Structure 1
Amino acid sequence: MVSSDFVKQWQGYGLTTAEILYRLPDHPSLLQSYFWQEYDLAPNFPVLVRFLDFWRDRLEGGLHSVRVAHCGLIKPAEYRAVDGIIRLN
């Protein structure tokens, strides 16, 4: 059986990591960081947007900023041209 994460990668999803800075409800001048990681589609990031909407609707800590990194894990094979032939005797 194939992993659901592997299927997502074939559908174009890539591993996405977001660093979310938010304000503490009791001390709004202090920032706390939260790291979120999931497979998502760049550049619109619908899974991340859904999570941030949930955060805004249900959690008390106000969002300050979000920094996103994305990487497609399945990529075409790299091809390198060879300038010559090496002969081994």
Structure 2
Amino acid sequence: MTASDFSRQLEGYGLLTARILYHLPDHPALLQSFTWQMLDKAPTFPELRRFLDFWQRDIEGRLHSVKIAHRDLVGPADWRILDCAYPIH
């Protein structure tokens, strides 16, 4: 995780996991599963929308369904400022 990822989490971004079911191009009756994770901001999910737009534009497999789970990784109760620090030799 980079510093920019942490700053995005402080801005309200959380871990989004999407399970995408799509039809195989050669066998449309069969479904394939694809799992995708990214930091994204609820409730609009701009990163997921951008990825699904790319999928529909550039990938041959037609989308069947998308199920998502979203979790804020950092919240007000998860971190606090220390009043003091104790050095250990």
Q: Does 1:35 align with 2:10?
A: no
SS at match of 2:49: helix
1:22 and 1:30 map into 2 onto residues whose CA distance is 8
TM value normalised by structure 1: 0.83
* 1:27-53 CA-partner distances (Å, limit 9, x unpaired): 000000000000001011010000000
* 1:31-81 CA-partner distances (Å, limit 9, x unpaired): 000000000010110100000000000000000000000000112228xxx
Partner of 2:16: 16
Structure 1: gaps of 5 or more residues: 79-89
Partner of 2:83: none
2:12 partner letter: G
Partner of 1:86: none
TM value normalised by structure 2: 0.83
Q: How many residues align?
A: 77
Structure 2: gaps of 5 or more residues: 79-89
Q: Which has the larger radius of gyration?
A: 1
1:76 and 1:41 map into 2 onto residues whose CA distance is 16
Partner of 2:55: 55
Moved over 2 A (4+): none
SS at match of 2:42: coil
1:8 and 1:77 map into 2 onto residues whose CA distance is 17
1:50 partner letter: R
CA RMSD of aligned residues (A): 1.2
2:37 partner letter: Q
1:14 partner letter: G
